[in-house]
Amino acid sequence: MSLKFYNTLTREKEDFSPIDPKKVRMYTCGPTVYNYAHIGNLRAYVFTDILCRTIRYSGLKLKQIMNITDMGHLTSDADSGEDKMTKGLLREGKELTLKNMRALAEFYTEKFKDDLRTLNVEMSDGMYFASDYIKEDIELVQKLEQKNFTYRTSDGIYFDISKVSDYGALWSGKRNWNKEGARVEENSEKKNPEDFALWKFNKKIGFESPFGKGFPGWHIECSAMGIKFLGEQFDIHTGGIDLMTTHHTNEIVQSECATGKKPFVKFWMHSEFVDIGGAKMAKSEDNFFKLSKLSEKNINPISYRFWLLMASYRTKVNFNWEALEGAEIALKRLYNLYIGFGSTVGKIELKYQQKFKEYLEDDLDTPRALSLLWNLIKDENVFPADKKATILDFDKVLGLGFKNLKEEIISKEIIKLIEEREEARKNKDFKKSDELRDKMNSLGYEIKDSSGGYKINKI
Ligand SMILES: [Zn+2]
């Protein structure tokens, strides 16, 4: 095992080893469930899935948890704008109550889980609603209060960043980077533009607390849940790059100040945006769409996963339908080739497995892993059955669904013909083998032989 990951905290690719050698502990920022996820949001979870699968493939145990934000997240990601859950309730014409808020959250959480399932994203060990951990949030804010890191304004309890010297660790201490904080300074009671809410008062709707009725700040929920489930210090924290400047920065500072332990998290890992037409895909823009749109267009949604894996998770990708359709054609070809290798699963080619592991362990280099997969398929020195075994092994990380492929792409009848033809060729009955090939042609498939096996394509 020689895992290397790019760490946003140090801006370097670093050797990774877990704090507890027996188990990697990872926290993933989950969605705010006030609406459907768009395919840009889902990239962060495909990235995290590849990360989790790679860690396990390397032979390490992993505990990964994810929060589901069902309250307290404002549209600006900082402390201004509307509350997203409230916005969701208003949009759906529902009365503003905590019960309705929870019901809304549960509805969109199920939709989110459906999306993850569709994209072969393995569910994390624990997905927890933030609103179930209010007690932990309150305790954490109280700890910060006791240590004098907070102050009170008319609308909430705030963290005072002037009390710390290293605010903004994720951007190497360049404090004025926080454009979000600087731009939205409508709240004149804040002492510093980057100060952020730990608790926001709300007279109409909210939870009771020693500070007053309201909601915990969005950032505090992740610190509280991370500490609760993974401890005061843990190994990896993931999320989309949009979470880096405000959300994760604030998580770090408040956790470290509350516990007195540094670093809160050893590795911060972020996936890049999905652009569409040169702009970031976002719920607030009009340029987003749901995963179900792919099925509507008759595209297998797993093609989206495949397309994402063609680029490094740290590269911005530009979505367009032509690119996705291209990915789908390539994936279908892979499926067909795989099925064409027959029904016997042989042994894993260790030489390929070694390389595959090396590429993934090198900061999840999925583009190189995919080109290795194509090389394996083309390699005439590898038996088809062994190719099959190796592909299935690769798929433990890639998650493209080879295991469940049977008649989906090629019918049983064709598979039977392929096997009969193999048998005929083994017995040097070339007449029969040619007849079977013609029969396959008449059913719309062509088979081409090579010394390492054969390829099957739809005509
Ligand atoms: Zn979070």
pLDDT tens, position by position, 159-182: 999 999 888 888 765 555 444 444
Give the Cα separation of 116 and 98 in Å (integer): 27
> 30 alpha carbon to ligand 1 midpoint, in Å?
7
Q: Which residues contact 209 (CB under 8 A, 6 or more apart)?
A: 134, 138, 199
Residue 91 has pLDDT above 50, yes or no: yes
Please tell me whether residue 174 adopts helix, strand or coil conformation.
Answer: coil
- pLDDT at site 17: 96
Residue 450 has pLDDT above 70, yes or no: no
> 2 alpha carbon to ligand 1 midpoint, in Å?
28
3-state secondary structure 196-245: EEEEEECCCCCECCCCCCEEECHHHHHHHHHHHHHCCCEEEEEEEHHHHH
> 291 alpha carbon to ligand 1 midpoint, in Å?
23
Confidence of residue 339 (pLDDT cuts 50, 70, 90): confident
> 364 alpha carbon to ligand 1 midpoint, in Å?
22
> 222 alpha carbon to ligand 1 midpoint, in Å?
5
> 361 alpha carbon to ligand 1 midpoint, in Å?
25
> 143 alpha carbon to ligand 1 midpoint, in Å?
20
- pLDDT at site 178: 46
> 29 alpha carbon to ligand 1 midpoint, in Å?
4
Direct distance between the N- and C-terminal alpha carbons of the chain, in angstroms, rounded to an integer:
44
Highest mean pLDDT (candidates 278-287, 343-352, 442-451): 343-352
Range from 50-54, 137-141, 166-170, 454-458 carrying the lowest mean pLDDT: 454-458
- pLDDT at site 251: 96
- pLDDT at site 146: 97
> 180 alpha carbon to ligand 1 midpoint, in Å?
17
Angle 68-114-280 (CA atoms, 0-180°, nearest 5)?
70
> 395 alpha carbon to ligand 1 midpoint, in Å?
29
One-character DSSP codes across 71-86: S--BTTSSS-S-BHHH
> 396 alpha carbon to ligand 1 midpoint, in Å?
27
Confidence of residue 189 (pLDDT cuts 50, 70, 90): confident
pTM of the model: 0.86
Residue 76 has pLDDT above 80, yes or no: no
> 28 alpha carbon to ligand 1 midpoint, in Å?
7
> 375 alpha carbon to ligand 1 midpoint, in Å?
39
- pLDDT at site 414: 74
> What Cα–Cα distance (Å) separates residue 405 from each residue in 272, 280, 299, 336?
31, 34, 17, 9
Mean pLDDT of all residues in 107-123: 95
Mean pLDDT of all residues in 92-118: 93
> 73 alpha carbon to ligand 1 midpoint, in Å?
10
Residue 352 has pLDDT above 90, yes or no: yes
> 249 alpha carbon to ligand 1 midpoint, in Å?
10
Residue 454 has pLDDT above 80, yes or no: no
> 77 alpha carbon to ligand 1 midpoint, in Å?
11
> 261 alpha carbon to ligand 1 midpoint, in Å?
19
The residue ranking higher by pLDDT, 232 or 404, is 232
Residue 240 has pLDDT above 50, yes or no: yes
Give the Cα separation of 437 and 431 in Å (integer): 10
The residue ranking higher by pLDDT, 242 or 112, is 112
- pLDDT at site 182: 47
- pLDDT at site 350: 97
Range from 13-22, 235-244, 250-259, 421-430 carrying the lowest mean pLDDT: 421-430
> 314 alpha carbon to ligand 1 midpoint, in Å?
19
CB 403 within 8 A of CB 395: yes
Range from 137-146, 226-235, 258-267, 412-421 carrying the lowest mean pLDDT: 412-421
Give the Cα separation of 70 and 79 in Å (integer): 16
Residue 391 has pLDDT above 70, yes or no: yes
Give the Cα separation of 325 and 304 in Å (integer): 9
> 141 alpha carbon to ligand 1 midpoint, in Å?
16
Mean pLDDT of all residues in 331-337: 89
The residue ranking higher by pLDDT, 426 or 262, is 262
Quick one: which of 276, 298, 269, 319 has its CA closest to 5?
269
> 181 alpha carbon to ligand 1 midpoint, in Å?
17
Tens digit of each residue's pLDDT (9 = 90 or more) over 263-322: 999 999 999 999 887 777 766 556 678 999 898 888 899 999 999 999 999 999 999 888
- pLDDT at site 177: 43
Tens digit of each residue's pLDDT (9 = 90 or more) over 398-434: 999 998 886 555 666 777 787 788 888 888 998 998 8
Give the Cα separation of 42 and 119 in Å (integer): 9
Mean pLDDT of the chain: 89
> 247 alpha carbon to ligand 1 midpoint, in Å?
7
- pLDDT at site 455: 64
| Strand arrangement, sheet containing 274-276 | 279-280, 274-276, 317-319
> 257 alpha carbon to ligand 1 midpoint, in Å?
17
Confidence of residue 183 (pLDDT cuts 50, 70, 90): very low
> 236 alpha carbon to ligand 1 midpoint, in Å?
13
> 376 alpha carbon to ligand 1 midpoint, in Å?
39
Range from 54-58, 230-234, 279-283, 416-420 carrying the lowest mean pLDDT: 279-283
- pLDDT at site 5: 98
Residue 364 has pLDDT above 60, yes or no: yes
- pLDDT at site 291: 92
> 368 alpha carbon to ligand 1 midpoint, in Å?
30
> 126 alpha carbon to ligand 1 midpoint, in Å?
14
